[in-house]
Each structure stands twice: as C-alpha cells, then as structure tokens.
Amino acid sequence: MSVKILATGDLHIGKKSSALSTDAKELATKHTWEQIIKRVINDNFDVLVLTGDIVDRDNRYFEAVGPLQAGFNRLREAGIQVFLISGNHDYDVLRQTADQTKYRNIHILGANGRWETKTITINGQEIRFVGWSFPSQHVAINPLLDLKINHQDIPTIGLLHTDLDSKKSHYAPVRIENFFEHPVDAWVLGHIHKPQTIRDNAPLISYPGSPHALSPKEQGIHGPLQIMVESKHNIRFNQIPLSPVRYETLTINITKTLNEESLRKLVVDSIQEFKEENRDNLIEVRYLILDLLLTGEHSNVRKIEEWMSTIQEHFSYEEAINISVRKIDYDLMPAIERLTNLAQEASPAGLLAETILAIQNGNNTPLLNNLIKKWKDEAERINNAPVFYRLKTNHRTIDPNDHTAKREILTQCRRLLAELLIQKSEE
C-alpha cells in the first residue's frame, strides 16, 4: 500500500499576513496550522513532515507553544507520525515545544547539526526519513558534505532547511549537484517561502514553501505538498492550495479605455476573469489582495491616474472572498503616433522620447548610461543604510542590476513625457 505524506514548512507561527486593515483570525498563521492539522486527520494522511521555521523567531516560544501543542495532541490521538527538522528561526525552541518524551509520534531529526535517519513501517511498507536541523541561527557550511547514509531498497525521504545555490548564504547553503550524491529518492526543503519544484524526477526536489502567504512579495498559490509514496521508484508530489490569503498582481491593458466608467468596468471584469480562471485554487482563500499594473497607451495618462485613484478609494468587493486593491502601478505610454520624430527634437520631451526608444530597442545613449549609473548608486546606498539592515540579511533588498534600473527608468520617463505633453497641449 502507499504512504500518504503532507509536507510543509516556514509557517512562522506568531505572524500574520500584512497589507490588510482587518484583524480577522484567518490572517494569523496559527489558523493555517489548525487547518493543516484538520486536513491531515480528515484526509487520512499517514505522516506530517515539517521542514523548519515552524516557529517565528521574532515571536518565538510563547506565541507558538499553545497552537503547536494543541496540534501535536490531536496528531498523537489520531496516531499520525510527524517528522520534522528545525530551521534558522526555531533552532532553539522547537525541541522545547515538541517534547519527544511526551509525543512518541514526533521525531525531530538531526539535532545539533548532525544527520539522523529513522526507518518506520506504515501500511506494511518500510520508509526511511533522513534529516538535519540547524544547531544555531546561522550556518555557513554545506550540510550535505557531511551526509553519509547507506543505499537501501526502500523509499528514502530527505528533509533539509537550506539556501540552494547561494555560496555566500548563512543559511546552510548547498549546491543542487550535492543532492545527486546520496541515495535519497525525494528531498523536501525549507527556507524559501515561494513554493517551487526544483526537480520532478529522481531525486525529486521541492520547496513546499510557506503554506500561508505572509506578504505581497509572496504571490501566487500557497499550501502544503501532498506526497504519495507507492515505492522507491514511484513517488509523486502535488500542491494543495490552503492559504486563506492570496496576493496577486493583475496586469490590465487600458488602451481602449475612453472614460472613468469604462475603466471601472475594465477593472471589475479583469478581477472576475481572474477569479474564474483560478476558481479551483481559490476555494480556501478568504482574502485576495491585488496589485494592479496598468499598461498600454492613452492620450491622457494623468486622467487614467485620477480615475484610478477614485476607483481605489471607493473599491469594495465582498463575496465569499474579500478583495482589496493594495496599490496601483503604471507602465503607460502616451499615445504618440510618431515617438521616433519626437526623439529628434532638442527639448526635454525629445530627450525623454530618445531614452524610451533606447531602452525599448536595447540601445544605449549617454543620458541613459548616466541615469543607470545614478540609479544603481542610489540603490546601493539604500541597501547599505542601517535602517534596512534586517532586509539585507534576509535577501530582501533592491537588486541593483541594469535590467531593474532600465525598467524603473523607463517607467519614470514615460510618466514624465506624458506630463510634458499634457502641459504642452494645455498651453
């Protein structure tokens, strides 16, 4: 018979989703933890796997102990096995919360940064788990260099909280080729909040990601991973959408918009279309937070921005899902028939048009090169500012590369050109 596993990590119990004005209970990660426990029991899973950072370091023990132990009690009563490792956030509190003398069904693997294996029999099938836990908040070495396990003809699942292909990381950095050096059939990883499958054939490698979306940076579907183990050579992964919060960016082309009424209809229709296309993945979602990106051409870009400010101010959309607009970005071009001709003018508008064309065509100009240098210098200054130290240590600062610089410069050049042309038409 098969072994049915639910795998997740990076829950950060003690935190809640940002960018919302309500304090609804669904926004707290402990709510999603409760939903995970309910799903494991009601859907007859055999094993729950947790890949670290279950407890958030900033909120720590007292915020997490109640919900965690309530969940562990229910799992114990249901006879469900739990295999877990600690990450950089909960390296020192997870062992206190998941007391293995109290919970015989809970197995914390790899204490003190030493690899550990455990083999159990479920549904008449042997299965082996191997894992490594953070011994401290920062680990700069590659844990896989110390892994030594024997080949066995039984399914082997590896658990590791790690930063993949990042040499300078302080979060147990590994190289993808390191995974191929060990007799492990599937790796379930922690640390990265975005769900992603790194490899879909042996060995399978996947980040389940955070099952609860915490910020607008964590867009898309979030939920635990279902792992079906039929045999050593037949292991399947699929994601279960479970997060009550979802962040998304909707791109809306407003080129054919004539007035505020038609713009409002276009926005509402775009949201409805998104909901319809994602119906199956929105069943558990209670809060949908949208960033709108308006693209296209319009003869009066300023008017579009005025209309959208009114729409955002009065936006209210409540059904089974509460929908809100967090912010609106613009990537609009003034409707100019002869941008090339305008670029020949010896004027501020001509310089802006020339810069826009250079970026669009992959060319360089002295002005563009100077703007890129100034933008990158300013981005580095912001990154190194003391106030943003924590963002830098968590790899959440601005990436000062040419591509990002050109994108930002293009947006601002378009806005300025549109404003200049509007002013000129009003003279």
- Give me the residue spans of the domains in the chain: 3-239, 245-426
Q: How far apart are CA 244 and CA 411, in angstroms?
A: 33
- DSSP H or E run through 205: strand 204-207
Residue 391 pLDDT level (bands cut at 50, 70, 90) = low
The pLDDT, as a whole number, for residue 22 is 87
Model pLDDT, residue 395: 53
CA distance 309 to 373: 33
Q: What would the pLDDT profile of 409-425 be if each residue is shown by its tens digit?
A: 998 898 888 888 878 77
Q: Which two tokens mark 169?
A: 């990381």
Cα 401 from Cα 301, distance rounded (Å): 28
The CATH number that domain 3-239 falls under is: 3.60.21.10
Query: Per-residue pLDDT for 266 more than 90?
Result: yes
Give the pLDDT confidence of 302-348 residue by residue, as tens digits: 888 888 887 776 666 667 899 989 999 988 877 776 788 899 999 99
Residue with tokens 């492990």: 184
- Whole-angstrom Cα distance, residue 227 to residue 231? 12
The alpha helices in 84-227, defined as continuous H runs, are: 94-97
Radius of gyration of the chain (CA): 26
**What b/e sequence results for 184-223 when a residue is b if at least 16 CB atoms lie within 10 Å of its CB, and e otherwise?**
bbbbbbbbbbebeebeeeebbbbbbbbbbbbbbebebbbb
Task: Grade residue 396 by pLDDT with cuts at 50, 70 and 90.
Answer: low
Residue 392 has pLDDT above 60, yes or no: no
pLDDT at residue 247 is higher than 90? yes
Q: How far is residue 247 from each of residues 7, 20, 26, 36, measured CA to CA in Å?
A: 22, 11, 15, 20
Mean pLDDT over 133-151 rounds to 95
Give the separation between CA 209 and CA 216, rounded to whole angstroms. Answer: 15
Q: In the predicted model, is pLDDT for residue 61 greater than 70? A: no
pLDDT surpasses 80 at 27: yes
